[in-house]
Structure 1
């Protein structure tokens, strides 16, 4: 099993190489692998209120996700752009990745809920981490999604 280096960066802390690597992985999976042309560059990656988790092996980026933190304290922290390189899937990295995000939210923004827009086929994955659906399945860029939220007081299942 690969050894991983887990690092968090706010948007302004991403140098061009780090930003390029995470954008490259996201495009490789979301646009190319999933055959879903959409505008990946959404203007949020470099904001100070955006936090990126980068999971690296010795040679490359294995996984990443992004947290967007609204200024309004009553709004949930958004977990998004959760992506794992195909060579690193199937070994529990996704669960570890999501757990790291939840720990970060709990540590830096205690009492804040977490929200995400999950691809519908991954709903049971997020269910296991305490997320509940917040409505019906909808299409986003041609792929079925569902809004989900995890309340701050929700225990892991």
Structure 2
């Protein structure tokens, strides 16, 4: 099957968001086993000037939903970034997954030449869909995904490469 703008985006987001959900389960089990409040982990940062764990989850969600919506030429749902608990983060991921699953593939297929405008602090940036996906959406999505993984590992959650990659082959 040929690689399309859809297959290079939405299924990847869905797969990785599924992995993150499993990581959250392992984080909860780790906190229970070590007898500490999971809220402590949710506020951790790798560095004082980096965003905390909860914000990394929110940013991963945003990268997926805004990326897919802009490629499809539709509005993305607005999430208020108010999650402070593990159940709320799980719900955020579930809402993101539901939105992604609602986007018909044909809305994104062929978006490689479509102009996509991204609002930015220093003014809007317009890119072709393929460039937007390759140089903005996927790097941002994986940056924040990697921060979630790194924060969990840094705090003792037993995750390995297989948790990051998930089952291979399909």
The verdict on a shared fold, with TM-score over 0.5 as the criterion, is no
Question: What TM-score do you get using the length of structure 2 for normalisation?
Answer: 0.27
Higher share in strand: 1
Higher share in helix: 2
Higher relative contact order (Cα pairs below 8 Å, separated by 6+ residues): 2
From the CA coordinates, give the structure whose radius of gyration is larger: 2
